Amino acid sequence: MPDDRMVPANDVGDAFWLPFTSVRQFREAPLLIEAAEGMHYTLADGRRVLDAMAGLWCVNAGHARPPIVEAIRTAAGTLDFVSSFRMSHKGAFAFTEALTALAPDGLDHAFFTNSGSEAVDTAIKMARAYQRLIGQGSRTKLIGRAKGYHGMGFGGLSVSGIGRHRRDFGPLLPETAHLPLPYDPARMRFPHGCPAEGAEMADALEFLLTVHDPATVAAVVIEPVTGSGGVYPPPQGYLTRIREICDRHGILLVFDEVITGFGRMGTPFAAQWAGVTPDLMTLAKGITNGAVPMGAVLAHARVFDVFMSKSAEGIEFNHGYTYSAHPLACAAGLATLEVYRAEGLFARAGALWPSWNAAAHALDGARNVTDVRTIGLLCAIDVAPRPGAAAGSRGADVAAACLEAGVLVRASGDMIVLSPPLIIADDEIRTLFSALAHAFDTVP
Ligand SMILES: Cc1ncc(COP(=O)(O)O)c(C=O)c1O
């Protein structure tokens, strides 16, 4: 064991292969975080910084909330682990009740996973198995959407629409197709919420179904609001139209609400905000306030009932994970939902939207800013790439300038994305956007 004092502060070695990170760059200036509380992280050098990303779109109630911490502690000391294969624990049922009570009518059943990626892969399997059970076994194709992000499992990646994520891994699931992003920069740039026009962009689904026989399509998988692909609000009426087309052709609609769930849109789920109920909904992140890994698929009763009534005797859905409904995750989830309820955080997010929107769009004319998109408590800012430099270099410099000013934002290439905890205060919104304004003024 090396003596800590002998190791240079920034030498973290290379044993840890970080996800979605340039390990070589990270080693030059490792960003290490030591503690978190409320809206803030404490960095290894002692500085407190405002967390404008809710961790990674997940800590919706703010960090280290005592009721959640306490619930996890108690669970760990009471029932550290039990599988849910042919047994389970009361916490799983209590949490499922609370979770489904928040969901749109009909989404009455929850299947638990450990991440959003697993939730999406589970939903894809559920959709295909459902089609088989109703005598539609030819329906195996999946339709995703450009710029969609559905995690890194092979199923989710197959419906994802971000080329650089798909590029390196050989064949994905065969016979997937992708809808275009319903965003036309020529007429929609700098949107404040959902563009009023553009619902007809949903007809791209009808078009795809003239290429792919609808009788071969199992499900459409989309984020109601594109999240990590760049916060693209859907045109008004677009999601309703997608729902209608799916219904007309016997195709299941899956909403991936890993980001939009748990209050980001001012309602429990984006489904309620949009007034559109999917057949399956995938969740993760805010489900436990990020404190314990967990994901879920909410299934509509009409899907669940088919499994219960039409499958052969025995296991109705041959799928699951060792840690599905882990006792610590269920305890964290139950405590999280109670914090959301007690503090009215979903309504709070809705009430904050006008000031969030106004503060973000104050950047509309800033140097090198080519688009600002806001919806709910989300924002993406497109930054003009630096001519002749590596892609993402200006975005990274903007994020670094913000960190210097005490605000942690996320640079995704030359795009800055924001998704703060729903407890953010007005003065913290001002601090965040003035750090960004200063960064755009100063970063060349
Ligand atoms: C919409 C969406 N789906 C799925 C995922 C994957 O979740 P996880 O990273 O927990 O596997 C993410 C992660 O950001 C996401 O934003």
Of the candidates 78, 25, 60, the one whose C-alpha atom is nearest the C-alpha of residue 267 is 60
Same fold, 4-61+344-442 and 68-342: no
- In DSSP terms, 256 is beta-bridged to 282
Counting as low any pLDDT under 50, the low residues of the chain are: 1-8
Residue nearest to atom 8 of ligand 1 (CA): 116
Residue nearest to atom 7 of ligand 1 (CA): 116
Pocket test for ligand 1, best of 145, 147, 285 (most atoms within 8 A of CB): 285
Going from the Cα of 154 to the center of ligand 1, the distance in angstroms, rounded, reads 13
Going from the Cα of 178 to the center of ligand 1, the distance in angstroms, rounded, reads 18
Q: pLDDT tens, 60-99? A: 999 999 999 999 999 999 999 999 999 999 999 999 999 9
Handedness of CA 349, 42, 395, 17 (dihedral sign): negative
| pLDDT of the residue at 12 | 86
Of the candidates 364, 359, 366, the one whose C-alpha atom is nearest the C-alpha of residue 441 is 366
| pLDDT of the residue at 5 | 45
Enumerate residues lining ligand 1, CB below 6 A: 115-117, 120, 149-151, 223, 227-228, 256, 258-259, 284
**Cβ count near 348 (within 10 Å):** 16
CA dist., res. 288 & res. 22, Å (int): 28
The distance of Cα 6 from the centroid of its chain, to the nearest Å, equals 41
Pocket test for ligand 1, best of 112, 147, 149 (most atoms within 8 A of CB): 149
CATH topology of domain 4-61+344-442: Aspartate Aminotransferase, domain 1 (3.90.1150)
**Cβ count near 365 (within 10 Å):** 10
- Note the maximum CA span of the chain: 68
The three-class DSSP label of residue 40 is strand
Domain limits, the chain: 4-61+344-442, 68-342
| pLDDT of the residue at 351 | 98
What is the CATH code for 68-342? 3.40.640.10
